[in-house]
Amino acid sequence: MNKLRVLRYQIWAILWTIVILVLCNMKMPASNGGFFFEGFDKLVHLGFFFILTIFLLYGKINHQHNYSFRTLTIFKIILVTAALGAGIELLQWKVFTYRSAEWWDFACDMAGVFMGVFSYILLHKSNYNEKTD
């Protein structure tokens, strides 16, 4: 029961993961080069995983009621999101064959994750570790 209580802090991350899984495995209309422009798909992957990382960090902050994380927590977030990104590409490769599995999509997923982690570290250091006079 205690694990379920911890999961309630990650409800936004869980819901967002479901959205990512559905949208990344949906059949898209045929287009030449991209939905809106060339590379739009990569931008979407980056944005999806940036937001997922922010939701995971937000849930962890709410769970522990402070802004401090151990390095292991950030490493776990990177591992979980990497597994999700790789899983999506494997699904697109083997199950949803109408979608194309690309390593560049996974690279953009990880770029979004690292952008989220970097944003947290940058904001955490600047806003919460300042010395007050």
- Exposure of 102 in the CB half-sphere (CA atoms within 13 A): 13
The H-or-E segment that residue 86 falls in is helix 71-94
Model pLDDT, residue 123: 81
pLDDT tens by residue, 50-78: 999 999 998 988 888 776 777 888 999 99
pLDDT tens by residue, 3-45: 777 788 899 999 999 999 998 888 776 655 556 677 788 899 9
In order of 101, 124, 132, the CA distances from 45 in angstroms are: 12, 25, 39
DSSP E strands in the chain: the ranges are: none
pTM above 0.85, yes or no: no
Averaged pLDDT for residues 96-101: 78
Model pLDDT, residue 125: 60
126 pLDDT band, cuts 50/70/90, is: low
Model pLDDT, residue 2: 74
